[in-house]
Structure 1
Amino acid sequence: NDEQTRKILTEYKKTLSPEQINGLTEENIRLQEWQSTPDSAEDIAKIPFISLTDIKREVEQLPIESATHDLITLLKHPIATNGIVYLSAYFDMNHLPDDDLPWVSLFSDLLGNLDTEHYTFSELANEIDIHTGGVSTEFNFYTDTIKPDNILPKFNMRSKCILDKTEKMLELAAEYTFKNKFTDIPRITQLIKETKARTQMMIINAGHLIAIRRMLAQNSRLHKWQDMTQGMDYYNFLNKLEAKIASDPQEVTDKLIALANALFNKNKLILSITSQEDDIKQVWQKISLLTSHIKTADNQSFENTFKPNTNNEGIIAPVNVQYCAQGGSFSQSGHEYSGKMMVLTNILRNDFLMQELRVKGGAYGILVQFSRQGNMFFCSYRDPNLVNTFEVYGKTSEYVQNFECTPRDFEKYIIGTMAELDMPYSPYQKGINSDSHFITGFTFEDRQQLRDEVLSTKIEDIRNYARLIDYVMKKHQIAVFGVETTLKENSNLFDVLIPAIPN
């Protein structure tokens, strides 16, 4: 911590002569001058780079065909996959109350780790390894493109195999997902403890994610739900559940069985198959091996309520650096999301905030995001500072308002942004991306508009975002995941100090 570092440096200084101390002082002055001096135009011009004229204007068309069969929506992605079949199932979760969300997270962790109707969990794992490329479950919170506040939660099952193994894959996927025995209390207890330990390790190792989510959760249901299923709130849930299963194991098993009955429903189910066109037809002819295990029910969407809060949190953790997050909603400032914000992100992340927080301030890195949901954030990564970091965030709008650069440099910012849009994707990932676009209503025209906005960005567009950033920064919505002594020294910045891992 800082106090130990001071003691070490004080003792070291006692061993130095006045000449050595002066030498170190002069060396630090030269370092600061070098850090503050921009590279010369001559040196920069030596670096080869492509031109905007080399960038393709049209967005890539991702193959997708949709049809409805017996309440099930089928998404077909005819792509050359070298004989591999990729299958995804998306079960709607809109009928679940938000109190069930941490249970869904645990439920996903349990699948594949319990005995099933026909296999022990180790036998099932061996069968899956022998016959398929894997079976897994996860859940995602998608957001509606037109109404970003509309969250679309889905429970996903994914699997893959070569075409000849399709029948076995479907049988094993059904066994993995629908046939679990939730009666082995000692095994479930062990898995809850393991999940709790993994979650604790994740929290400690991902302080930046914790700080961002907790900060944005003040006024974002999406980030509140993420914390409930992957963050500190989820850890607290597991902590209580560990005690609950010791005192009332039947209540826990009843809840898991009830959740399985509520989750798996043909109504609003989406099935996605990515493979060659003829192979997709063969898979679909055998799909009843999976779908015959799924019931049909008319579930009504549950109207979950969300109450914003204004608690700026200092999160005390067993770390020796800070993760300082500040941000909030920009939609109320009159701005809508645009691809031009991706260029702004690139500029801030690689220029102003990089120079101020990493090069000068000593932080390991900086995260910046403006999202389609109308939120933005800045977050430092492994940061030795706290107050200075928030002072830098406060100066960002002034930097943006007065932003200047050469046409060549600005073109580089746009090209760097296009690299994010033009990442190469595997056939599997193309299918997953197409599924996401279908679920959220993100059309081909939306994707083309985003690309056009990036490519048409001007310096004046960047300057126009100064008011947006100033609006959000003045709200002073923050969270810091960091060292106890540092947080307590600056407790005036926070409404509450809380432990990352409760005792």
Structure 2
Amino acid sequence: VAETGLTSLLLDTSAVPSEKLHYLQLYSSLLGKLDTQKYTREKLNTLSIRYLNGAGFRLSTIPQKDWNDFAPVMVISWPGLMGEYTEQLDLVKEILLHTKFTDNATILDVVKSQIAGMKNQFTNNPVNLLITRNYALANNCTNYQNYISQLEYYDFLVKLEQALQTNSYDVLSGLKSMHGLVLNRTNMITMFSGNENNIKKYEEAIMSLVQALPAKAVVMQDYSKLPRPAKKEGIAMDTSVQYNMLSAPYERMGTEYNGKLIPIGLVINENYITPKIRFGYSAYDNIVNFTSTGFMLISYRDPNIRETFDVYKGLPAFVKGFEITQEELNRYILKAFGTYTAKSGELSGGIDAMDNYLMGKTPEDRLKLLREIKSTTVQDLRDSAAMFENLLKNGARSTVGSAEKISTAKDLYDSILSFGQ
């Protein structure tokens, strides 16, 4: 990695009350876009590109085990030359400590830009909206992520746009209040990935930033009661194609995460879902994914709704009756093994290792997963039928699509929302 280092700072945001979470999201997105005591926003942008590779602040989470327990954080992560490390940290410190939340016009422009960007994303590529809202039902962590970044945040911005034009004082006060809740070195985490010679430089230099922040007690908030989407939800938009999803956490499927599920997913995708959804019903793409917390089926740019969910209903019968030998299954095992042993970059690999540590993942967990992948048998495929039956019974069903299509399948949903209609 020569003289390049990758630094990440994680600030604890668990003191922010639920009713202020959308202010927190806006606050994080404004850092680096407003004047500070030393720099105009134009100069700040130039320096950010020069020293921080254009990195910005964002909200994230550190989930634990089943993702119901998690630590909410505000993160900035940037690569940079170690010969300029002092300049990098000084710039981050200036942004954190001395951003001026007084420029109503610029804040209004940012809000308008975010509204336009989110509307464009929701309308033209709503798959992230679909996944986040659907999976919000799986655990508290994903529900938090959904609440702070999707439709609820969009609605907040729309109202805020009006407020900035009629009563900006309350809005600016709300943003300034985030300083007191977020700027705190208590529970702060700093991470660095680089060569061995530069670790000492990082350890010495980073303290100038850490010590500049106050140390205050953190009163942790309870985010388990945030609003959740309906279990069966349709979202009508101005689109001619649909995005469908069925998912469930493992506990609702009567099982636990196991490496054997990975090659099973590949078998299902190649021999059942793709031939049916893509080749049979002309969807642009589909996703079959076993994550560490649950399973999801997604159709992408799909002309259908009911037909797709009918295909999903056939999963138990497929895995029970699909003819495959162990030798043929080994091909999927090798593919899964290769995917999960692929190397990441040196710098990003270091940060990934630290992320895994924070989430309680160990190297032994990875080895266990690989051993499970290698041990998958045809009988394991057959036995997965019960798991998929539970998916159909207990899973969350969602569609983002045209109002006309959703209306013809309205019996599939408990709730139908409308966006941009």
Normalised TM-score (structure 2): 0.94
Residue 319 of structure 1 aligns with which residue?
A: 239
Contact 1:356 1:392 (8 Å CA) reproduced: yes
Residue 245 of structure 1 aligns with which residue?
A: 164
| Structure 2 unaligned regions, length at least 5 | none
Describe how 1:227-306 pairs up with structure 2 within 5 A.
227-306=146-225
Residue 248 of structure 2 aligns with which residue?
A: 328
Describe how 1:70-81 pairs up with structure 2 within 5 A.
81=1
Q: Quick check: 1:367 aligned with 2:283?
A: no
Please give the alpha-carbon distance, in whole angstroms, between the structure 2 residues aligned to 1:206 and 1:486: 17
**Per the alignment, do residues 402 and 316 of structure 1 end up closer, same or farther by CA in structure 2, a change over 3 Å counting?**
same
**Per the alignment, do residues 130 and 310 of structure 1 end up closer, same or farther by CA in structure 2, a change over 3 Å counting?**
closer
Deviates more, 1:174-183 or 1:95-104: 95-104
Contact 1:132 1:162 (8 Å CA) reproduced: no
Describe how 1:375-454 pairs up with structure 2 within 5 A.
375-454=294-373
SS in 1 for 2:208: helix
Contact 2:133 2:229 (8 Å CA) reproduced: no
Deviation of the 1:490 alpha carbon:
1.8
Runs of 4+ more than 4 Å apart: 307-311
| Structure 1 unaligned regions, length at least 5 | 1-80
SS in 2 for 1:287: helix
Which one-letter code corresponds to 2:247 in the other structure? Answer: G
Contact 1:219 1:308 (8 Å CA) reproduced: no
Residues 71-109 of structure 1: CA deviation (Å, up to 9, x unaligned): xxxxxxxxxx11102111111223333333322222222
Which one-letter code corresponds to 1:162 in the other structure? Answer: L
Q: 2:78 aligns with which of 144, 159, 162?
A: 159
Deviates more, 1:183-192 or 1:412-421: 412-421
Deviation of the 1:136 alpha carbon:
2.3
SS in 1 for 2:95: helix
**Per the alignment, do residues 134 and 259 of structure 1 end up closer, same or farther by CA in structure 2, a change over 3 Å counting?**
same
**Per the alignment, do residues 315 and 456 of structure 1 end up closer, same or farther by CA in structure 2, a change over 3 Å counting?**
same
SS in 1 for 2:298: strand
Contact 1:137 1:155 (8 Å CA) reproduced: yes
Deviation of the 1:308 alpha carbon:
5.7
Contact 1:141 1:152 (8 Å CA) reproduced: yes
Please give the alpha-carbon distance, in whole angstroms, between the structure 1 residues aligned to 2:154 and 2:325: 49
Contact 1:135 1:173 (8 Å CA) reproduced: no
Normalised TM-score (structure 1): 0.79
Contact 1:112 1:124 (8 Å CA) reproduced: yes
Residue 99 of structure 1 aligns with which residue?
A: 19
Please give the alpha-carbon distance, in whole angstroms, between the structure 1 residues aligned to 2:302 and 2:229: 26
Residue 374 of structure 2 aligns with which residue?
A: 455
Residue 70 of structure 1 aligns with which residue?
A: none
Residue 125 of structure 2 aligns with which residue?
A: 206
Q: Provide the aligned length of Structure 1 versus Structure 2.
A: 420
**Per the alignment, do residues 189 and 436 of structure 1 end up closer, same or farther by CA in structure 2, a change over 3 Å counting?**
same
**Per the alignment, do residues 94 and 345 of structure 1 end up closer, same or farther by CA in structure 2, a change over 3 Å counting?**
farther
Deviates more, 1:198-207 or 1:437-446: 198-207
Residues 445-501 of structure 1: CA deviation (Å, up to 9, x unaligned): 111111211122112122222111111212363111111111112222222321133
Contact 2:134 2:229 (8 Å CA) reproduced: no
Residue 143 of structure 2 aligns with which residue?
A: 224
Deviation of the 1:442 alpha carbon:
0.5
Residues 159-209 of structure 1: CA deviation (Å, up to 9, x unaligned): 222121111111112123332110111111111111111111121233222
Which one-letter code corresponds to 1:466 in the other structure? Answer: A
Deviation of the 1:408 alpha carbon:
3.4
Is the radius of gyration larger for structure 1 or structure 2?
Answer: 1
Contact 1:366 1:379 (8 Å CA) reproduced: yes
**Per the alignment, do residues 298 and 476 of structure 1 end up closer, same or farther by CA in structure 2, a change over 3 Å counting?**
closer
Contact 1:315 1:482 (8 Å CA) reproduced: yes
SS in 2 for 1:87: strand
Please give the alpha-carbon distance, in whole angstroms, between the structure 2 residues aligned to 1:368 and 1:100: 36
**Per the alignment, do residues 255 and 481 of structure 1 end up closer, same or farther by CA in structure 2, a change over 3 Å counting?**
same
Q: 1:186 aligns with which of 99, 102, 105?
A: 105
Deviation of the 1:132 alpha carbon:
4.5
Contact 2:16 2:24 (8 Å CA) reproduced: no
Which one-letter code corresponds to 1:185 in the other structure? Answer: N
